[in-house]
Amino acid sequence: MEDVVDRLDAARAVGWYRPDDTRRILRIVLPMMLPMAIGASVVGVAYTQLKAIDPMGIEASVHPPPPRGGPFGSAGSAADGLVSRDDTFSTESAGSAADFFEPGPSATTRDAYARAHGGLAPRVEGVVRDGVLRGPYRRAPAPPVRDATIPIHVWLLFALGFLLVAAGPTSIILGLGRTWKDDLYLLLRVDALIHQTRDGRHHVAWDQVARVEHDAGVVRLRMRDESSPYEIRERFAGIDPPALAARLEEVRRKASFGLLR
């Protein structure tokens, strides 16, 4: 048994195994799920506090008001909307009269006037209801603008949460890149076993091996000169340690009788 740099094609290959990366991948991915979950929770807490401080700003950003329509607006036509002005009635202002205007004329009166005047509503000085002139038509005062101040700790929570969420995928990508960069394998040739590990490439000739054993998930190659056995502790894809030990012993016996040449 010796560490040498040997050409892989120096002899015919009879087996090739790659390490089972499932456990290594799970060791990389699973620990990163915790900071991602914590980061998402921190962002949720920050959003809840922001909504409690400035609910109107949140609602306006999530559900913006629809654009005004009408014959002179960005949408609609003379048939489906009226001019939106402070001193005229419109289908939109009529729909929100409870919030912005005092009650206006009936829809029948307004629509009839609009058809007769090309879609323009009448200029009025008051509101006629049930034949009685009621107070002057006027716009109700607009609600005061709320100037909410966002505390600095809310922004810090957002920054911390997004940092934790972004750290998870970044660490996973870097860890997987290091894992896949390692070219590890176990090559069975007719003359020797070639084992590529992180420590280097190991060459074990079959004529130096007395037998192959398996014990507690470790495959051991016992040497004929009674030196320290060569151990294979990695797990390989598609084969478990007992089956790998049996395969190595089969190749060793056939190689010793020259049946693989």
The DSSP 8-state label assigned to residue 117 in this structure reads: T
Local structure of residue 7 (DSSP, 8 states): -
Residue 97: pLDDT band with limits 50, 70, 90: very low
**pLDDT per residue over 120-147, tens digit each?**
555 545 555 555 555 554 555 555 555 5
Task: Tell me if the domain spanning 8-19+184-256 has CATH number 3.40.50.720.
Answer: no
- Contact at 8 Å (CB) between 129 and 7? no
- What's the whole-number mean pLDDT along residues 103-132? 54
Provide the pLDDT for residue 252.
93
E strand or H helix that includes residue 204: strand 200-205
* Contact call for residues 256 and 207 (beta carbons, < 8 A): yes
Question: How many residues in total does the chain contain?
Answer: 261
Going by pLDDT thresholds of 50, 70 and 90, the confidence category of residue 37 is very high
196-224 mean pLDDT: 91
Residues 6+ apart with CB under 8 A from 88: 82, 120, 121, 122, 123
Helix (H) or strand (E) holding 27: helix 22-53
pTM above 0.75, yes or no: no
Q: Where are the domains of the chain?
A: 8-19+184-256, 32-54+148-180, 56-134
Q: Rounded distance, CA 36 to CA 45, Å?
A: 14
CA distance 93 to 100: 8
Looking at every residue in the chain, the average pLDDT score rounds to 74
